[in-house]
Amino acid sequence: MDMQIEDLMEKAIKYALKLGARFVEVKGEDTVTGEIETVNKEVRTVSEAHNVGIGVRVFYGKGSGFSFSNILDEENVLKTVEAAVKIAKASAKRALIKPMLAYAKAVEGGRSISVNKHPREVALDEKKDMCVRQCEVAMGRDERIANVRSRFGEYHGTIYYANSEGARAFYEPILVGLGVSCVAKRGDVIVDARDGYGGSFGLSAFEEEGHTPEKMAENAADWAVEKLEAKPAPAGRFDALINSDLAGILAHESFGHLSEADFVAMGASPLTGRMGQKLGADIVTIIDEGVPKEGGYWIPFDDEGVPCSRVEILKDGILSSYLHSRETAHRLKMSPTGNARSQDYSFEPIVRMRNTYFKAGDWKLDEALKDLKRGIYAIDSAGGQTEFTGDFLFKAVRGYWVEEGELKYPLRDVALTGNILELLKNVEAICDDIEIRSGPFGGCGKWDQRAFVGDGGPHIRIRNVLFGGAK
């Protein structure tokens, strides 16, 4: 099979050049996604999906085109090349700018990481047991727990890359995740809470203290029960302490997307033309990289064959780099950073983040909390969104009202909103407790594509954040 994909990729490149393409690249994929879901100890879903195919992108004159095939024989692959060339010819007529690629050294060879208990070597039973144990522990924790759902997910296989400049390489992605969510009920009051852990590692990660299935289940159950007593967060401006998960959403959704160079090159991002400017407090450094040591999703090179470098987007508060594909790097006369990614072989590469996080500072969490005189400690996220104007919203699923550094009472879901460029100036404390997380559920959406990403950071304290409570 492996030889076959690489042979077909070779043929596709030769054929595209013959049809007049000035550049061609091919992504090959042979991956598996697996999922197990248990509800109240009963196994509901056990599923797996095989994703095999190749995607072809060609540059022809001023145009570019993309097509793909999941039928891996010579006839269909060559048809796919023809379709991509035809699309490129059509798009050439509407193109304002001729797309050019910045130089990238042709990537070669294979990359993989060794993990302990790779999911493909672990029996279904053992994975299923983790889910069942989570349900048992959470249900036994409190009689007000009405429903428990546990999910295990895995993704692995091989991604191939080749282009007409001589690149020939592959890597073996891996991602696992385990999560549990609990619904608690008291009379008419329904609340939910969850915990989870995931990243590019083997199943031995779930044997480590703090990340065992049991510990996550206890957390989710306790948090759900606590939320039964929670009050709606007040609406208005308060100082905030946010945890790692929320820091990650802020780094990724609110800031990271604006630093994606395709938006910059189009003039859509508010970071356009602001390189070298002071955008945040001195203590703020935001990084995006493919292989962080703190965890996350491991990506050695992107879908243009460019090694994933460590990018300090914001360095000590100063805008220092955008995230680039080869195309945006050429257009903005900068260097590619390895940020061109596609959901799978059936999508073209676009500028995406990898693992985006706030660099750790030197505050201790208890000190950062102690100095919070009147405000909200916001914890864990249900996601977020941002506009090109820099206006953002993200949602904390737990929280506490804080007075004089003391947690007074728990809060229900609360939204934090504002403009990211104002918020970054108001960061006053960054702690040393960094975490970066990833997982096979969710991921990041852009245009019509989803991508696995990691995000995180330490606890961060921010002045004057707008909370949109319900009361």
Partner 1 sequence: MMEMLLDVGKKAVEHAKRLGAEEAEAFLYTENFVDVKLVGGIFASRGGVLKGVMGALARVAEPWIKRRGIPMVKGGMRAGVGVRAIVRKAVGFSSTSSLEEKDVLKAVEEAVKIAKVRPPDPKWASLPEPKEPLGQGGIFDERIQGLEAEGMLKLCADCCAAAGDFDRRVTYTVAGVRALSVYAGVVNTRGVEASDRGTAFLAFVYVKAKSGTDETSGSDLIISRTFTENLQGIAVNASQRAVECLGRKPLQGKHVGTVIFENRSWGELSSVILASSISALNVQEDRSAYKGRIGEQIAYEGVSVVDDGIMPDGIFTSKADDEGVPRQRTSVIEKGILKGFIYDNYSAKREDRESTGNASRWKFLGAPPYANPPTVRPSNLLLTPGRGSLDDLISEVKDGVLVKGELMGAWHSNVITGDFSVTATNAFRVKDGGVAYPLRPCTVAGNFHEALRSVTAIGGDPKWFVNVRCPSLIVENVVVST
> Distance between CA 353 and CA 261 in Å, rounded?
11
Amino acid at residue number 357: Y
Question: Quick check: 413 binds partner 1 (CB under 8 A)?
Answer: yes
Asked if 277 contacts 438 with a C-beta cutoff of 8 angstroms, the reply is no
Q: Which of 19, 59, 67, 194 binds partner 1 (CB under 8 A)?
A: 67
User: In the complex, what is the shortest distance from the CB of residue 210 to partner 1, in angstroms, rounded to a whole number?
Assistant: 26
Instruction: Indicate whether 42 belongs to the interface with partner 1 (CB under 8 A).
Output: yes
Q: Quick one: which of 40, 158, 320, 464 contacts partner 1 (CB under 8 A)?
A: 40
How many residues bind to partner 1 according to rule CB under 8 A?
A: 91
User: Does 43 sit near partner 1 (CB under 8 A)?
Assistant: yes
- 285-324 binders of partner 1 (CB under 8 A): none
Identify the residue among 12, 13, 15, 63 touching partner 1 (CB under 8 A).
Answer: 63
| CA within 13 Å, CB half, 43 | 15
Out of 1, 75, 93, 121, the only residue in the binding site for partner 1 (CB under 8 A) is: 93
- Name the residue nearer to partner 1 (CB basis): 65 or 458: 65
DSSP letter assigned to residue 460: E
Taking the C-alpha atoms of residue 113 and residue 193, their distance in angstroms, rounded to an integer, is: 33
Binding to partner 1 in span 344-363, by CB under 8 A? 346-348, 350
Dihedral sign (CA 335, 90, 21, 96): negative
**Nearer residue to partner 1 within complex by CB, 345 or 363:** 345
Q: Name the residue nearer to partner 1 (CB basis): 363 or 400.
A: 400
Structure tokens at 259: 């630093």
**Which residue, among 310, 266, 268, 269, has the nearest Cα to 289 in the 3D structure?**
310
**Residue number with CB closer to partner 1 (28 or 307):** 28
Burial 3-15 (b: 16+ CB within 10 A, else e): eebeebbeebbeb
Q: Is 182 helix (H, G, I), strand (E, B) or coil?
A: strand
Part of the chain binding partner 1 (CB under 8 A), chosen from 3-11, 113-121, 302-310, 378-386 = 378-386
Give the nearest distance from C-beta 343 to partner 1 in angstroms: 9
- The DSSP annotation for 7-38 comes to HHHHHHHHHHHHTT-SEEEEEEEEEEEEEEEE
100 binds partner 1 (CB under 8 A): no
Q: Using the rule CB under 8 A, is 128 a contact of partner 1?
A: yes
Residue 445 touches partner 1, criterion: CB under 8 A: yes
